[in-house]
Every structure is written in C-alpha cells, then in structure tokens.
Amino acid sequence: MEIFSDNIIRLRFLRVLNMIKLSVKILLMLLFTVTCLFAQSGSPLERPSEDYLKALAEKKWDDSPTTDFGYDFQPSGSGKNKSILKAVALSALLPGAGQLYLGHKYKALGFISAEILMIIGWNSYNNEGEKIENEFREYADTHWNEAAYREWKDNLPPGSTFSHTLPGAKNQQYYEMIGKYNQFLAGWPDTAGDPWESQMRLFYMMRQDDSNKNYKRAELLANLLLVNRVVSAAEAAISAKLKSSKIKGNIGFQPYYRTMEIIPVINLQYRR
C-alpha cells in the first residue's frame, strides 16, 4: 500500500511538472507569434513577388497541420479507461472504494473516514439508548406498583372510564404508558390520595426521553450512512466518466501562405 501511494504521488508530481513545462512552451510560442507579427517591416497583408510564390508552390509541405518537431501532450484527465459500473459498485459496497479504484486516494480517504466515524457514532448512540432503556425498565419494575394502581382504579366512583388499558405483558407499550399517561400515576409510591404528580414518575420519564434521544441520533447516523454510499457512488461515476474522456493536443509550426511565414499553432482534440 505504501509503494502504491508513493507511485501515485510520483505520477501526480510528474503530471504537474509536465503541465508547467507545457505552459512555458505555450507562453514562449505566443511571445514568438506576437514578435513575428509586430516585427514586419511592411503590411502583413502585402502580396509577395510572383517568383517567390512560384518557388513556394513548388515546395512540398507536410500534409499534417503541424511539422514533425511539434510537441504532443495528453493531460492528466486522459489515460486508461476505468469501468464506471465497477467504480459505482465498489462505492456502493464501501464508500471510497470506487475512488480508490480510480486512483483518487484523498477522496477515498474522506469517504472511508466518514463511514468509519458514522458507524462508531451509530454504535455508541444505539448502545447508550439500549443501556438507558434497560435502566428505566428496571426502575419501573422496582418502583411502579401495578396492584396499587388497580386498587386505586377499583375504588373510583361508578361510571369512571379511561382511554387506555394496561397491557397484560410488560412490552414496549406497557413501559411507555405507565410514564406517559396520568391515569397510571397511582402506581408510583410517592403519590398519596388522588394522584396529581410524582417525582419518581418525572425521573422515569426523563430517562425515557434520554433513551429516545440516543436512538434518534443512531437512526440519523444510519440514514447518513446510506447517504454517504449514494454520494460516493455518484462521485465515482462522474470521476470515472471524466477519467475516460480523451483530450489530446499538439504544439508545432505550419506555413502561413498569406505572409509566407512559419507560425506556431496549437491543436486540441477532445473525444467523448
């Protein structure tokens, strides 16, 4: 892996160096062109003599737009084609894998790091939510008295009704109802007579809320894990498409018949 990383860095350095060399050559040729144009002693459109034109017509010029001493270049956007489908599939399985396949190690590091951090966060919040849930359920089993609640309910005036019925099993709905609804206040031991409020119930509800907050954070991170995969796959598809594009160019010289000069030219070719 270290050898692979060193080769990538070396290739990028060589590409930057080649682009710098190319920029210098373009600048020099542009300066040469400007110098040639402004160094004319007469009008650049001045027609040469018939003898010169005849001699020029007999000279055989290369049919290609540039001469053999031109400089060919191929920027870093081109190179060996990469499979778009493979890049997308890799990033969908593991965010950053498609970027690593394309040779974009810094992008890959970003996606993989985000994935690892979100998995750690999801696991932490989910475990904390489960831990608090076990705590408040144990607190309810220890302190909330179902028999006291039913005794209070049986002593109510005839015709008293309630909107909720306590489940027979101690499931999620059971633990939610005894803290959420006032009709179950009588089961908490720190209430006397007609139940109005209970500090033990308030503590129980706060622990429930703490557990739910951790579960919601874990759920958010789970959704972000999916988003990270989608974004990584989309970015890999775009990068693979750009990487497979072909941009070629040539810098050289060609005759300009109107002024009987050899001038520098730049040819660029793009293939989708």
Domain encompassing residue 191: 123-227
- 89 within some domain: no
Query: In terms of domains, do 187 and 258 share one?
Result: no
Query: In terms of domains, do 10 and 70 share one?
Result: yes
**Whether the predicted pLDDT of 177 surpasses 80:** yes
Query: In terms of domains, do 177 and 265 share one?
Result: no
- 90 within some domain: no
- 189 within some domain: yes
How far apart CA 198 and CA 100 sit, in angstroms, is 58
Query: In terms of domains, do 167 and 208 share one?
Result: yes
Query: In terms of domains, do 137 and 174 share one?
Result: yes
Structural domain count of the chain:
2
- 14 within some domain: yes
Q: Compute CA distances 186 → 166, 181, 196, 205, 269, whole Å.
A: 13, 11, 9, 15, 84
- 111 within some domain: no
- 99 within some domain: no
Query: In terms of domains, do 135 and 196 share one?
Result: yes
Per-residue pLDDT tens digits for 222-243: 999 999 999 999 999 888 888 7
Per-residue pLDDT tens digits for 76-125: 444 467 788 999 999 989 999 999 999 899 999 999 999 999 999 999 99
Per-residue pLDDT tens digits for 54-79: 655 565 544 444 444 444 444 444 44
Going by their DSSP bridges, the two strands 246-256 and 71-73 should be labelled as: antiparallel
- 103 within some domain: no
Query: In terms of domains, do 154 and 69 share one?
Result: no
How far apart CA 32 and CA 1 sit, in angstroms, is 47
Query: In terms of domains, do 178 and 259 share one?
Result: no
User: 69-73, 149-153, 166-170, 179-183: which range is least confident on average?
Assistant: 69-73
Query: In terms of domains, do 16 and 61 share one?
Result: yes
